[in-house]
């Protein structure tokens, strides 16, 4: 009788642990679900709802100010804080907005109006697609424009992306300084 009670308690503990683990792995970073066998990248859906906001760069430009919002797949920031690295399969999405502005009660305030483009990066620690010109240096690189949001339009990350990311090479090509959540909660 006693032994049976202990057994049941142990079983419940094991079940609880399993469920927690299950929930975590469901929430885990699995960017390769957006990649086909050839390495073609799709834009992940519902990013604003389901991803974590990392931070925003404001780019002041006489031709039109922009706000760059960067989102990461769930768990990415926590893992980064623990390991100092983006885990294999991490997805980063940068949504580039045009802005409106006006004198508000705070000052000359700018806010996001329409989306112009999305940049997508998927962390590939294993070099999965060696022959694909959109994969290399530890990431899959992709670009989607607002007029055809489902169509990936970058052709060669070395030409389309890498040059501009060289200043961030020492931080795995990512401009981490603009993302407070990578440093602390």
Minimum Å gap between C-beta 154 and ligand HEC is 4
Distance linking the first and last C-alpha atoms of the chain:
48
Q: Which of residues 61-120 bind ligand HEC (CB under 6 A)?
A: 68, 70, 92, 94, 119
Distance CA(79)–CA(90), nearest Å, equals 10
CA angle in degrees (0–180, nearest 5) for 67-175-115:
25
Distances (CA, A) of 140 to 15, 24, 31: 37, 24, 10
Residue 164 in the binding site for ligand HEC (CB under 6 A): yes
Among 12-20, 30-38, 43-51, 159-167, the segment contacting ligand HEC (CB under 6 A): 159-167
Return the number of the residue (20 or 113) whose C-beta is nearest ligand HEC.
Answer: 113
- Hey, what are 118's tokens? 């999305």
Residue 123 in the binding site for ligand HEC (CB under 6 A): no
Q: Of the candidates 35, 41, 77, 121, which one interacts with ligand HEC according to CB under 6 A?
A: 121
Distances (CA, A) of 10 to 19, 24, 85: 14, 21, 36
Q: Of the candidates 41, 141, 144, 182, which one interacts with ligand HEC according to CB under 6 A?
A: 141
Residue pair 48/70 in contact (Cβ under 8 Å)? The answer is no
Residue 52 DSSP label: E
Distances (CA, A) of 173 to 10, 37, 62, 143: 47, 25, 27, 16
Minimum Å gap between C-beta 85 and ligand HEC is 14
Among 15-23, 33-41, 74-82, 137-145, the segment contacting ligand HEC (CB under 6 A): 137-145
Residue 142 in the binding site for ligand HEC (CB under 6 A): yes
Among 9-17, 33-41, 102-110, 158-166, the segment contacting ligand HEC (CB under 6 A): 158-166
Distances (CA, A) of 33 to 101, 122, 132, 136: 38, 10, 17, 18
Chain residues binding ligand HEC by CB under 6 A are 57, 59, 68, 70, 92, 94, 119, 121, 141-143, 154, 157, 160-161, 164-165, 168, 174-175
């Amino acid at each position: 009788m006693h032994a049976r009670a202990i057994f049941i308690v142990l079983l419940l503990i094991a079940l609880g642990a399993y469920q927690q683990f299950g929930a975590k792995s469901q929430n885990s970073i699995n960017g390769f679900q957006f990649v086909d066998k050839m390495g073609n990248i799709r834009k992940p859906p519902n990013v604003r709802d389901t991803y974590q906001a990392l931070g925003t760069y404001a780019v002041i430009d006489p031709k039109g100010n922009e706000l760059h919002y960067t989102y990461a797949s769930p768990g990415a920031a926590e893992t980064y804080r623990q390991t100092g690295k983006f885990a294999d399969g991490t997805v980063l999405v940068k949504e580039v907005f045009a802005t409106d502005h006006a004198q508000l009660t705070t000052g000359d305030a700018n806010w996001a109006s329409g989306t112009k483009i999305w940049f997508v990066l998927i962390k590939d620690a294993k070099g999965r697609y060696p022959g694909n010109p959109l994969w290399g240096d530890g990431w899959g690189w992709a670009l989607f424009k607002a007029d055809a949001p489902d169509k990936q339009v970058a052709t060669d990350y070395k030409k389309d992306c890498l040059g501009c990311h060289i200043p961030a090479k020492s931080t795995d090509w990512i401009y981490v300084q603009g993302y407070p959540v990578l440093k602390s909660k």
